[in-house]
Structure 1
Amino acid sequence: MVVLNKIYTRTGDAGETALGNGARVAKHSVRVTAYGTVDEANATVGLARLHATDETDAALARIQNDLFDLGADLCRPDMEQDAKAEYPPLRMADSQVARLEAEIDAMNGHLQPLRSFVLPGGSPLAAHLHLCRTVSRRAERLCVELATLEHVNAAAVKYLNRLSDWFFVASRMANENGKADVLWIPGANR
């Protein structure tokens, strides 16, 4: 159980923050930037939920919870120490990736194949889901960069990769099952 009695601690005033294992690192470290961007992605999901119907809202709520799991995973770098930890650290699981894949397949089954790239927009929900997609892609790039420097749970990277695909397909669903997608017309304004 998390208990936050005091919101500010002043421990970060010098530009450092604590990771989940207690280690202090610079706030601009790749790890902190990665899980900070996951938090930003979560905030964009909150905006998308303002426009979502019940079924989509429930799926987005699950994703928001997963993104908190992902942040908890990324803030704890010492996976080799997991077995020795007082409390088992929360790690992303392949089952979370599989759930996204199943949902993508189910949504995509209602859509016609694309004949052009889709521009972000259409309905308010679709536009917000495109924002979710781009922020989650940035989070994925940062996690991949982090993985070149330190160990990262492979399921965390896979999750972010599938998540951006989920947002893309969901945005098409939000655009009348793709009928109201805004399509790219190459060279239209030359």
Structure 2
Amino acid sequence: MSIYTGRGDDGTTGLLSDERVPKNHERIDAFGDIDELNATLGVLKSSLADDAVESTRQISRIQSDMLKIGAYLSAWRDAPILERLEKIDDTDIRFMETAIDSMEVGLPPLNGFLVYGGHPCAAWSNFARAVCRRAERKVVGLSIELKVGRSPRHMKYILVYLNRLSDYLFLLGRKFNCLTGLPEDIWKS
């Protein structure tokens, strides 16, 4: 089987719900950013030390959640396939909040804005956070488009999840700098 089909040569792409839309459609833009976030998380995960077992496990789960979000965003809201997809729910939000709470416990208070950098894993965490915020903005735009009728409940979970994920990635960057003994670079105006 060949990777190329030629069906997108006209500038359109197929959705999971079988419609074809232009490749610059806001739905494609939103789940494209989710895909980029997933790839960035993969780079972050590949940069972790072998003993970072818990962070590796968490990021793997988050990557799986990105696939759930991408699949959900790639179908129109009334598409029958949506009923068969695994969706983001309260369990996923609690997972994220528990991970955030556990990371926060070991970190010193933050007394200013950070200049990102430090350990490579911290830098990748903050890069992933920035990609996450962009994806979140695109999903918010898509959510507004969907409110022509009633915004699906699942979209609200996705928005909460992405908001928590950016907090998680911010704290993960701080954690990596703390674990490696690198001082946080506080911005001085």
TM-score (norm. length: structure 1)? 0.88
Bigger share in helix: 2
Higher mean alpha-carbon deviation, 107-116 vs 144-153, is at: 144-153
Q: Offset of 1:162 from its aligned partner? A: 0.7
After the TM superposition, which residues 31-70 of structure 1 pair with which residues of structure 2 at under 5 Å, given as runs? 31-52=27-48, 53-70=52-69
Please say if residues 17 and 79 of structure 2, whose CA atoms lie closer than 8 Å, have aligned partners that are also in contact: no
Instruction: Tell me how far apart the structure 1 counterparts of residues 23 and 62 of structure 2 sit (CA, whole Å).
Output: 25
The equivalent residue for 1:154 is 156
Gaps of 5+ in 2: none
1:44-87 deviation digits (Å, cap 9, x = unpaired): 11111122122211111111111111111111222x444xx496
Higher mean alpha-carbon deviation, 91-100 vs 10-19, is at: 91-100
Please say if residues 72 and 91 of structure 1, whose CA atoms lie closer than 8 Å, have aligned partners that are also in contact: no
Please say if residues 125 and 172 of structure 2, whose CA atoms lie closer than 8 Å, have aligned partners that are also in contact: yes
Count of aligned pairs between the two proteins: 179
1:79-130 deviation digits (Å, cap 9, x = unpaired): x444xx4961232222111110110011001112210111111100000000
Gaps of 5+ in 1: none
Please say if residues 129 and 171 of structure 1, whose CA atoms lie closer than 8 Å, have aligned partners that are also in contact: yes
Equivalent of residue 140 in structure 1, options 121, 136, 143? 136
The equivalent residue for 1:174 is 176
1:15-62 deviation digits (Å, cap 9, x = unpaired): 111111101111101110000000001111111112212221111111
Instruction: Tell me how far apart the structure 2 counterparts of residues 161 and 154 of structure 1 sit (CA, whole Å).
Output: 11
TM-score (norm. length: structure 2)? 0.88
Higher mean alpha-carbon deviation, 105-114 vs 52-61, is at: 52-61
The residue type equivalent to 2:187 in the other structure is W
SS in structure 2 opposite 1:119? coil
